[in-house]
Copies of this chain bind each other. A is one copy, B any other.
Amino acid sequence: MHKQRGEKLWYIPDGYIPELSSGNLTSHESICVVNTASEDALLKITIFFEDREPMEDIMVVVSARRTKHIRTSSLHIEGVPIPVGVPYAIEVLSDIPIIVQYSRLDSTQAENALMSVMAYPIKSER
């Protein structure tokens, strides 16, 4: 059995899907997860906005001993995606410990720009 590593609850306050792309690369964000354990991780993702109610409990599975780089543009609730060009924040809740990083590629202008942060972990009471 491989050990579970990380935490079950993570936050990324600065989410934003750029409206435009140019050049060879498409603007996008990724929520990058690694699951080191021998069992699958079931994630519930919640999206917070500035001016409306949260989108709650978008479900994603990350398989045992695998990584998953989740495009935020692929997330939706009953076919409704996260709106582009709108500031939001991300909560990632998992049933087992995982590790979460967030990266954004912005190609609004001709050349691309990159940013990345480790998500902020909430330590479980142990």
Residues of A that sit less than 8 Å from B by CB = 5-6, 9, 11-16, 20, 23-25, 30, 32-34, 36, 48-51, 53-54, 65-69, 87-89, 91, 99-101, 103-122
4 residue pairs, one from A and one from B, having the closest CB atoms = A67-B89, A14-B32, A34-B89, A111-B111
Q: A27 CB to closest chain B CB, in angstroms?
A: 11
Contact of A50 among B9, B69, B105, B122 (CB under 8 A): B69
List 25 A–B pairs whose Cβ atoms lie within 8 Å, in order of A's numbering: A5-B9, A5-B11, A6-B11, A6-B120, A11-B34, A11-B99, A13-B32, A13-B69, A13-B101, A14-B69, A14-B101, A14-B116, A20-B24, A25-B109, A49-B66, A49-B67, A50-B68, A53-B65, A101-B120, A110-B111, A112-B113, A114-B115, A115-B115, A118-B118, A120-B121
- CB-nearest residue of chain B relative to A116? B115
Q: A63 CB to closest chain B CB, in angstroms?
A: 8
- CB-nearest residue of chain B relative to A110? B111
